[in-house]
């Protein structure tokens, strides 16, 4: 899946992930004040290499179609949480 680093930043903002600076960008996806799973990203600009975009997608526990919707904006934070609930990852 073609992905740009700017889109990765937009996704983290949409999902309300507070990234901390360090060797890499690290943060947690949170829901109702609970940390669900960690998110780790590298610094970058321009295009994200294919293998890296797949790893980013997997971090968010989404298939390619769902991740495409998240990237292209029809999928909101609430819709994303609903997907995680359907997968049994959030109660």
In a domain, 58, yes or no: yes
pLDDT of residue 61: 92
In a domain, 71, yes or no: yes
Q: What tens digit of pLDDT does each residue of 26-67 get?
A: 899 999 999 998 988 877 778 888 788 888 889 899 999 999
Domain that holds residue 9: 5-86
Rounded percentage of the chain residues whose pLDDT exceeds 90: 37
Query: C-alpha distances in angstroms, 76 versus 10, 14, 15, 16, 61?
Result: 12, 7, 8, 11, 15
CA 66 to chain centre: 11
In a domain, 91, yes or no: no
In a domain, 19, yes or no: yes
pTM of the entire predicted model: 0.82
In a domain, 25, yes or no: yes
In a domain, 18, yes or no: yes
Structurally, how many domains does the chain consist of?
1
Mean pLDDT of the chain: 88
Cβ neighbours of residue 41 closer than 8 Å, sequence gap 6 or more: 8, 12, 19, 24, 25, 26, 56
């Amino acid at each position: 899946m073609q992905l740009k680093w700017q889109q990765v930043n937009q996704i983290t903002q949409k999902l309300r992930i507070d990234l901390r600076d360090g060797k890499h960008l690290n943060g947690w996806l949170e829901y109702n004040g609970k940390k669900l799973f960690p998110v780790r990203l590298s610094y970058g600009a321009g295009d994200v290499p294919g293998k890296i975009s797949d790893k980013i997608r997997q971090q968010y526990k989404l298939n390619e179609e769902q991740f495409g919707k998240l990237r292209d904006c029809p999928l909101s934070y609430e819709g994303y949480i609903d997907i995680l609930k359907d997968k049994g990852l959030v109660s």
